[in-house]
């Protein structure tokens, strides 16, 4: 979510959505004044719309008079076929990958120029990550995002490459020429390896998930400690992504039945050449 608006919304629907849009990670509880400012609305309008949203269950108001997103929004989001069907199909493979790698497991899709986590699984004691269900990140800065960007239309890639690339750590790729080479490596090897892009202590390995028309529709990734061998993780991640692709009917994934993830980790830990490390 963006933190500011170029101009106040003019339509009734736009004003309602602006109130909801005021909330974001790190801004889960807002006062009426904060909603008014972030939505670009007068206090009177913000108060009226917030009251209507509370009545519908889209917002909740606590004992201090602050507002939070209501449970109805979560129920509504769960109806999205794009994320719901994918999550239902993916969960067995994600759980298998979690068991095999003991890392943070992510399932991501692209929304415009951002990557969105539609499922996250976290083992006890794993490296701390900032991912959460529904969380968004710039595609260039996370492993699953690099996969989705590498397989996006040329127009999408150019929009990302020509815009300022946000830096999170000293290892975040912010040079468009370097990023272009990284994306080519992702397409060539079939995996993205991201070291220290969001936090310096994390390493991510991600692979593409394909749909019935063989287009890349999602990405599966694992995040572990930076000391972890990417070569050891890559076969498990690619096997899980291929297994999910096969379950979704991807023609290219039908050529062979993927081995169980644990088997792949043991037998093929050194088989896959990896491109230069790029970030987490």
Sign of torsion, CA 180 187 192 152?
Answer: positive
Domain edges within the chain:
12-76, 81-267
What is the architecture of the domain spanning 81-267? 2-Layer Sandwich (3.30)
State the pLDDT at residue 237.
Answer: 96
pLDDT in tens, the chain (280 residues): 444 444 667 788 999 999 998 988 778 899 999 999 999 999 999 999 999 999 999 999 998 999 999 988 877 776 666 666 788 889 999 999 999 999 999 999 998 999 989 898 988 766 667 667 778 899 999 999 999 999 999 999 999 999 999 999 999 999 999 999 999 999 999 999 999 888 888 999 999 999 988 999 999 999 999 888 899 899 999 999 999 999 998 988 876 444 434 333 333 333 343 443 444 5
At residue 222, φ and ψ (nearest 5 deg) are: -125, 135
Residue with tokens 């899709």: 109
Question: Cα–Cα–Cα angle for 103, 109, 111, nearest 5°?
Answer: 140
Contact 35, 69 (CB under 8 A): no
Sign of torsion, CA 70 218 130 34?
Answer: negative
Contact 245, 161 (CB under 8 A): no
State the pLDDT at residue 133.
Answer: 76
Distance (Å) of CA 23 to CA 118, 187, 193, 194: 18, 36, 32, 29
State the pLDDT at residue 3.
Answer: 41
Sign of torsion, CA 130 184 158 164?
Answer: positive
State the pLDDT at residue 122.
Answer: 86
Q: What is the model's pTM?
A: 0.69
Is domain 12-76 in CATH 1.10.10.10, yes or no? yes
**Which tokens hold the place of 125?**
């004691």
């Amino acid at each position: 979510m963006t933190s500011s608006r170029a101009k106040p919304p003019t339509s009734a629907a736009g004003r309602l959505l602006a109130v909801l849009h005021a909330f974001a990670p790190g801004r889960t509880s807002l006062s009426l004044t904060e909603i008014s400012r972030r939505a670009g609305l007068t206090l009177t309008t913000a108060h009226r719309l917030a009251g209507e949203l509370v009545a519908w269950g889209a917002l909740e108001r606590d004992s201090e008079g602050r507002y939070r997103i209501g449970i109805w929004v979560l129920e509504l989001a769960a109806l999205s076929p794009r994320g719901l069907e994918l999550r239902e199909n993916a969960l067995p493979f994600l759980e298998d990958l979690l068991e095999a790698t003991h890392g943070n497991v992510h399932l991501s899709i692209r929304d415009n120029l951002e990557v969105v986590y539609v499922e996250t699984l976290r083992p006890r004691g794993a490296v701390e990550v900032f991912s959460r269900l529904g969380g968004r990140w710039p595609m260039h800065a996370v492993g699953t995002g690099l996969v989705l960007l590498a397989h996006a239309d040329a127009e999408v890639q150019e929009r990302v490459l020509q815009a300022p690339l946000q830096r999170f750590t000293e290892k975040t790729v912010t040079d468009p020429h370097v990023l272009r080479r990284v994306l080519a490596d992702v397409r060539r090897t079939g995996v993205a390896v991201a070291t220290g892009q969001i936090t310096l202590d994390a390493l991510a390995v991600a692979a593409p998930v394909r749909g019935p028309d063989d287009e890349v529709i999602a990405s599966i990734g694992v995040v572990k400690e930076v000391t972890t061998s990417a070569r050891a993780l890559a076969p498990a991640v690619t096997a899980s992504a291929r297994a999910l692709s096969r379950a979704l009917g991807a023609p290219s994934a039908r050529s062979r039945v993927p081995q169980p993830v644990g088997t792949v980790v043991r037998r093929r830990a050194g088989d896959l050449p990896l491109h230069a490390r790029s970030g987490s």
